[in-house]
Structure 1
Amino acid sequence: MCLATPLLGDDKTPQDPETATTIKVLFVGNSFTFWNGGLDKHLKILSDSMTPSLGYQTESVVRGGASLEVMWNKTKAVEKIKNGKFDIVILQEDIPETSVKSFKEYSQKFVELVRKSGARPILFMAWDYERLNWISMEQIMAAHLEISKSLKVEVAPVGFAWSLSKKRQPALNMYDKDAEHPSVAGMYLSLIVIEATISGKDPRSRAPKNLPIKNLDTLNSDGRKFLRNVAKESNLQWKKLLSKQKR
């Protein structure tokens, strides 16, 4: 069920889980999306753990190491978007694996396709990492700011949130042992930022007593609370950056 409150372009947003019966969400991306069990599955678990339920129904089209260009040309993502009758499509790019040029080209292709299908596109900004360090987090952010402005598309500022977390609490590692994929903490922060972008709700409110995500119990309650606060701060700061871009 799409709600018709316009925010950017012709997209219908925010999706309010408290009033919508069911919100169908598709994730398109690579291992940053499916690592540690998959953000699509975690969003469903979070949804079902809240009282009342947030109503999310989730699916994914994923491929390891894939850029949006690869997802467009070599997977069933396009077909899935056309035929899936989704409310929201989360588009995750991994710029270090590709190029800024490719990101811009295929973000536009996907955003136009998602809008044509009647769904609301959201770009999932990922992060920088050492293995492919030709681009910095600041440059990844700049590319997302530019595409957000040109396409009038929303961005879930996950990589930005990671950078804030690293500054505030360096000991809480966002990366898994390979220094590239998300740790449990990185996964949880990604999840909370994305859900807050979808719903427009304060991420600090997404704190059910029991959240049965595998290995989440390795992150204590103080750590989770800290990350929810980081999610709120990063989303607010991102909106301020967008506002400056539009002047």
Structure 2
Amino acid sequence: MTLRNGLIVALAIALSFLAVLNAPRFGGRYILSDWDRDAVMHSGETPQTARTITILFVGNSFTSGNDLAAMLVNIAAADPGNPVQLSVKAVTYPGADLRSMLKQTDALAWAQANRPDYVVLQERSLWYSLPRWVQQARENALDWNYALSPLKAQPILFETWPDLDGAQSYTDRSYCCYGKTFKEMSAEAQRATAALAQELGMPVVRVARSYSFAVQAGATDLYQRDLHHASYAGTYLAALTFYRYFTHRSGAETTYRPFGMSAAAAAVLVQAVNR
């Protein structure tokens, strides 16, 4: 084999590897992206469309990872019985809490200019682990509630998933969750979010609950290798949970799922959301 032919073969192998890695990004109305889009995504109108709602997602990598907002729109666009057109925008920043998102990004300015119906508030991960973090999350949510009040936009709390067993947060003594388990932290995430929602009068989209049921059902691919961030399957599970909240549809009839996910695997996630 000549050097030139060897380079061509190596390039072909590399491109094939990249195609496999990126395959889950394709298959829906929107290609999944690593970055926030400038434009609003629309699921599109059908003969069944009865209303349109605009949703702004505000958060960090739990929202931006695998493009949760686009997955939600893709699910809606591929459900023939969906009566709600979703118009969705995300403003995110890695590692940010809701205070940073309010003070240091254009999320609020976008809401003021575009008047969304709903604003999904995703606090930093594991905010429920320490009392001082819980207090900070409460203050952050209050600040957002106050800022959104003149816009008549409904703030919604994003109940985020906990780390899976084996994650560094449970095995490293320097972490606040050392020695804890997925089951314990899932219960705490749900309890703390419900308490905050009740105090502030905000609704909750119960993604941690969906994760808990999916893990119980044997779903093993919800996380990336760090056992902290969601895999494509985990993001799809979160998107299905939001879809059920906004449309009251189960998600069972959508034909969209990340490329490579089997119908059987998707059905397990749908069932977890609808338990």
| 8 Å CA contact retained: 1:176, 1:182 | yes
Give the number of equivalent residue pairs: 209
Aligned partners of 1:196 and 1:208: how far apart in 2?
Answer: 12
* Distance change in 2, residues 1:92/1:20 (3 Å): farther
Aligned partners of 1:73 and 1:155: how far apart in 2?
Answer: 23
Q: Hey, what does 2:146 align to over in structure 1?
A: 112
| 8 Å CA contact retained: 1:166, 1:173 | no
Q: Hey, what does 2:74 align to over in structure 1?
A: 45
What is the DSSP-based 3-state SS (H/G/I as helix, E as strand, rest coil) of the residue aligned with 1:57? Answer: strand
What is the DSSP-based 3-state SS (H/G/I as helix, E as strand, rest coil) of the residue aligned with 1:203? Answer: coil
Deviations 1:1-32 (A, max 9, x none): xxxxxxxxxxxxxxxx9554321111101111
**Larger Cα Rg: Structure 1 or Structure 2?**
2
Which of 133, 140, 165 does residue 189 from structure 2 map onto? 140
Q: Hey, what does 2:161 align to over in structure 1?
A: 127
CA drift at 1:52: 5.4
Q: TM-score by structure 1 length? A: 0.77
Structure 2 gap segments, 5+ residues each: 1-45, 171-175, 178-184
| 8 Å CA contact retained: 2:75, 2:240 | no
* Counterpart residue identity of residue 71, structure 1: M
Q: Hey, what does 1:219 align to over in structure 2?
A: 261
CA drift at 1:183: 1.0
1:102 counterpart = 2:136 = yes
* Counterpart residue identity of residue 147, structure 2: L
CA drift at 1:131: 3.8
Report the RMSD for the aligned CA atoms in angstroms: 2.2
Q: What percentage of aligned pairs have identical amino acids?
A: 24
Q: Hey, what does 2:86 align to over in structure 1?
A: 56
What is the DSSP-based 3-state SS (H/G/I as helix, E as strand, rest coil) of the residue aligned with 1:217? Answer: coil
CA drift at 1:35: 0.8
CA drift at 1:75: 1.2
* Distance change in 2, residues 1:167/1:91 (3 Å): same
CA drift at 1:80: 1.8
| 8 Å CA contact retained: 1:203, 1:232 | yes
Q: Hey, what does 1:175 align to over in structure 2?
A: 223
CA drift at 1:83: 2.1
Aligned partners of 2:49 and 2:62: how far apart in 1?
Answer: 30
Q: Hey, what does 2:100 align to over in structure 1?
A: 70
Deviations 1:69-121 (A, max 9, x none): 22122211222222221111111112426811111111122133334311222
What is the DSSP-based 3-state SS (H/G/I as helix, E as strand, rest coil) of the residue aligned with 1:227? Answer: helix
| 8 Å CA contact retained: 2:155, 2:202 | yes
